[in-house]
Amino acid sequence: MDSLHGNSIGDAGAHAIAEALKVNTTLTNLDLADNQIGDAGALAIADALKVNTTLIGLGLTGNFFTDVGVTAVTQTGNTTCRFRDPCRLEAGLERQRVPSAAELAQIAARAAANAQPLNLATEVDQLRFWFAAKDQTIAAKEQELAGKNEEIAAKEQKLAAKDQELKSALDRIALLERNQPTVGSTLSFEGPIPQVPLATLVTATNNFAADSLLGEGAFGRVHGASLPGPRVAIKKLSAASPAEFKSELDSLSKFRHPNIITILSYAEEGDTRCLVYEFMPNGAVRDRLNRTNDTPSLTWSQRHRIAADVARGMHYVQTAFPDHALFHLDLKTDNVLLDAYFNAKVSDFGLVRAAQHLDEKSYIRTDNVQGSAPYMCPEFFEEGRMTIKTDVYAFGMILLELVTAEKPGTKLKSKARKAAKSQKPLEMLDSTLKPAQAELQSVCKVVTLALELSSSSSLTVLVLGSGGREHALAHTLARSARVAHVYVAPGNGGTASGNTRISNLAVPDNDFPRLIAAAREHNVNFVVVGPEQPLVDGAVEAFRAAGIRAFGPSARAARLEASKAYSKAFMKRHNIPTAAFETFTDVAAAEAYIRSVKHDVVIKASGLAAGKGVVLPTTKDEAIASVRQMMVDNIFGAAGAEVVIEERMTGPEASVFALTDGYSFTLLPAIQDHKRIFDNDEGPNTGGMGAFSPLPFLTPALLDTISRKIIKPTIDGMRREGSPYVGLLYAGVMLTPEGPKTLEYNCRFGDPETQAVLSLIDPSHGVDLIDLFEACVDGHLDSVQLSIKAGSAVTIVVASKGYPGAYEKGLPISLPAPEAMPADVHIFHAGTQQSAGKLVTSGGRVLAVTAVAPTLHEALARAYTVVDQVKFEGKQHRTDIAKKFAVPHTADAKAAVSYADAGVDIAAGDELVERIKSKCKTTRRPGCDAELGGFGGLFDLKPLGLTDPIMVSSTDGVGTKLRVAQTINLHDTVGIDLVAMCVNDLIVQGAEPLFFLDYFATGKLDVDIAELVVEGIAEGCRQAGCGLIGGETAEMPSMYAPGHYDLAGFTVGAVNRDALLPAADLGAGDVLIAIASSGLHSNGFSLVRHLVSLAGADYAAPCPFDYSLSMATDPRSCYSYGRRLAALGRPATLGEVLLAPTRMYIKCLLPSIRRRAIKALANITGGGFVENVPRVYSDKLQAVADAHKWPLPPVFKWLQQIGNVDLEELARTFNCGVGMVLIVDPAKVDSVLADLELQGEKAWVVGHLQERPAGGAPATIANINAWKSA
């Protein structure tokens, strides 16, 4: 501030300074404090302020102004200048003074020096006038003071009233303290909780203002307030939560414990209900683990104490009352609060339910399952069964969070199990934790306890079936530490003996009422359906209707196996490669077709025929005879009433097993079985005489093709047709000269393939078979990772004499002693039973011997060694299973290995580059040639003509929006998203995008898909006006699931230094302009996918909401996706609408930016309006928007409705219809809006900047509830 402080300047000097200020254009601050300027000088300065626009600070304290002078300088209409005293705290017009005798002498001397005669009478009159004015000022001040005294008296009266209102609440606290029990005691407190007027709480929270908000949960928001006495927390429950209000009020009024939150009072008026609790200054444990607001990491000592506190509090809840137990049902780290000393207290009892005390096996059932899914034990989440372990499971998840600081869920449990099994629990430790050596044992114990508690109650599994497949399933499941017992119905001789954890139930596998009754009797909580017939008959639906989870496809989905006619038509509808075919129900038509074709044929019974309904005739006569046997002689019963006749394919066969949850899938090792009864593939077909895995001829490239062209289209097609496939999908595949083609589908594990495949699963890395089955049923298969043993597995079937025709039963069987068995060899029973204490034959395929070894040759040797030791009359088996692939291993037998053998196709990468070169050239701009192939991309800054350039860079990705694109096979839009997510972050700093580079990563490069993605990137660059000058394509086998890819982008822009945004002069009164988004853009898709899954919506179904208004079709706009959807000629699907590309704001903003009409820009991405707008201004300002000012697009309304998403959460997660916010001087609003309108953009004035109130949020959206009624 320029200083003329204390220079004895009088009115004449003030006149001179005022004349200078009238023409000044550079001076911004002036200090005239402690001079001798009177009202005459003040009037001169006031005239100057009426025309001056540059002065922003003026100090006038300590002069001789009366009210006349003060009024003159403060009522000039100048909004720029502020009166301030840089040396003092007071405002710049206070502390005016009366001139002393010496100062009067100075004034007189100056007057004499100016040759003006001293007129004493005039001076005396002026002083009299000054004193009279001062007397008037004093009188006015006294009157003002009297009014303030009256105000203070009124406020004291109100405060006394508040004290009276809260007296009962304070008495309640004192009474509770007097009744404080010792830890672990069961003393309850039955005193009534006082009710206080709602107005008291409204006043204390400033009408529940945003700056008092502490947090929010499912049933309401919590505000902090200072009432007489201690600080409190006030929960205002939503109007839709009266039951939760009553439940919490009733529960917390009945007990008092140091580790349970204390309720102090409540208010209830109409639909408004509030609960008042003790205040917990250190907040929720979840926030501390997240280190919200950069709080220090919790120490291990603190975490250990928190765990103990929660345990004590919950033990009290479950044991405090002799006649009943309480279930919290919402125990989680968000509901565990910390006091000033980090003592933990359990809160939020809104879902609590009471029940009679239960024992270990008892439970109560509810149809109203509520709570937080990651903390729910499966029995409660899936079946609504509450047990004494329901809250214990949630406590286990809390322990895992305390150890890892990670969010709860299946992935966390899987990680913990893996660490525990590898005996490396410290690998999962929160990286911020540095436990002392003495604490490490405590950490390990807590991890072990957490896993024990967060595991669902020990699973009791029922396997349906009686064959070797079912014995292998039961054997593998029983090895899991999570499985308490396995029942097999009806089972066989192997499942009846030899393992104390496996038992038979004498119930047929198709008698669902008896099976369900037996399951309930034995507390079965998981069912695995082995054979195809129960699946086709609806076994899965029957058990799920009874509240028991079941692994396997529904009856509708099982049609893939039940009807070959249906499955072949399905393959045709979804372009899944298969042989040419026709279906027939008329014998004569079938015979005529056979005679008419020139190719060899295969005859298949359309229905279920126990794996024997396929005939491979060598002549037309044999083919016709087979048709007559099926359709006339009914050798397969109703299964042969319809036949499929298809072209006979040639090539090796493979059985491909895929576990699926209906969306994602995991492949088990591919396997080949041997169908013919005799060596050299001679004789009739059987159910299978042997199998081996993995297949040396099935390369990673072939397996990838099968995944993309057969498995994934099948799973996606079933879901789109309304029959989502959950369970094990078995695709029989032939590797023809034209590529892999589908022979048939089975809807269950194969036999004998299962025995070999399951032997290769490696549970030592934390995931076993029951984990995989549960993940399929629960819909999160993508969260578990299958591990496979190295080496080979082989299964040899030992059959009865006469099989597959008639055979004798009841023959005694002799097996080798267990101690004589080679390592990694197991005998699985199929056609056996116990009779009079002896093991005897009861079927055609009697036993299956399975061996695992480092090589196929060794596995075969081990298996045949045991086969030779199996004895019963007339046994038969093949001796050539896998023999042609079993080459003895020698040190010299080294095959040449290529990069392609590792799964990387360099030729495909080269082809992609050639395809996309022309697309990149279309993005050329001054400074770059967009030519691909060099080691780096070049850009010349000279053509830009910038005088003082600043380079600005940005990088980003597309996120899980890619999963939607991959699900619906739409790949040419996500590249636009990639560019937009990067360049929109440049324009907000005033920079024009110059060039762009991309990174495309995938497990197996599909050139067609990659080309579509790059097309989108090029289109995005054209819309943004930047050059696509390079990129990287990375093919990484085993890093990505089949069909998955990921994207990253990098862009650079430039701006002159003096044009950088945000501008320095942002201030209160500046206007907020919002530009419409095109929809979701590329943020929040994890929540979107979760909500779509919860709602059971299908991405391929017509969009359930009106999307037309969200996507501009204005021909002036560079955004064309709306026109693309309009041109479809049909309603767009949900997936197509959700994939609307992120809007590009470059071209519509550059005109206003170049005119310096915009002060700041905020790109609305993850975090929404309230978290992105404050990034551009200081913490002294606050952005206030009004939700009435712009419409909430239908996509956000739909998401809010299907997920009952809180509107504040919606605004924090999504852009809610606003993609970019502009901050503009009020005088330039109209011109900016005109610029946007010329570009075809929708824009609204939505709010303004203001001074941020103390404790206020950086940004807020007023009237947000208007979106509910919109």
> 825-829 and 845-853: which strand pairing?
antiparallel
- In 223-377, which ranges are continuous DSSP H helix? 242-252, 285-290, 300-319
Return the SS3 of 1055.
strand
Dihedral pair phi/psi, residue 265, rounded to 5°: -165, 180
The torsion angles phi and psi of 917, rounded to 5 degrees, stand at: -60, -45
Alpha-carbon gap, residue 480 to 763, rounded angstroms? 8
Token representation of residue 840? 């005897």
H or E stretch covering 1054: strand 1045-1056
CB 665 within 8 A of CB 719: no
Q: How many CB atoms lie within 10 A of CB 320?
A: 20
Tokens of 1203: 């997920």
Distances (CA, A) of 73 to 18, 29, 37, 60, 94: 12, 16, 13, 10, 13
Is the separation of the CB atoms in 1052 and 951 below 8 Å? yes
Q: Please report how many Cα atoms fall inside a 13 Å half-sphere around the Cα of residue 1086, on the Cβ side.
A: 3
- What the block records as the tokens of 530 is 């082995």
Residue tagged 């404050």 (tokens):
1174
Which residues on adjacent β-strands are paired with residue 5?
none
H helix intervals, 824-973? 856-869, 906-921, 961-968
* 3 state DSSP class of 375: helix
As a three-state string, the secondary structure of 1210-1238 is HHHHCCCCEEEEEEECHHHHHHHHHHHHH
> If you write DSSP's letter for every residue of 547-593 in order, what string do you get?
T-EEES--TTTTHHHH-HHHHHHHHHHTT--B--EEEES-HHHHHHH
- How far is it, in rounded angstroms, from Cα 1017 to Cα 1050? 12
Rounded distance between C-alpha atoms, residue 985 and residue 865, angstroms: 69
- Please name which of 232, 231, 233, 230 lies closest in space to residue 221, comparing C-alpha atoms: 233
Q: What is the CA radius of gyration of the chain?
A: 40
Rounded Cα distance between 825 and 807, Å, is 27
Residue 229: left (phi > 0), alpha (psi -120 to 50), or beta? Answer: left
Q: Are strands 672-673 and 676-678 parallel, antiparallel or unpaired?
A: unpaired
413 is in an annotated binding site: no
- Give a three-class secondary structure readout of 242-282: HHHHHHHHHHHCCECCCCECCEEEEEEECCEEEEEEECCCC
Q: Are 64 and 97 in contact (CB under 8 A)?
A: yes
Q: Which residues contact 730 (CB under 8 A, 6 or more apart)?
A: 655, 656, 657, 658, 745, 746, 747, 748, 749, 750
Angle at which helices 974-987 and 1007-1024 cross, to 10°? 30
Residue ranges of the alpha helices (H) in 707-748? Answer: 712-720
Do strands 459-465 and 526-529 pair parallel, antiparallel, or not at all (unpaired)?
A: parallel
Quote the CA–CA distance of 599 and 350 in Å, as a whole number: 71
Residue ranges of the annotated binding site for ATP are 236
Residue ranges of the annotated binding site are 236
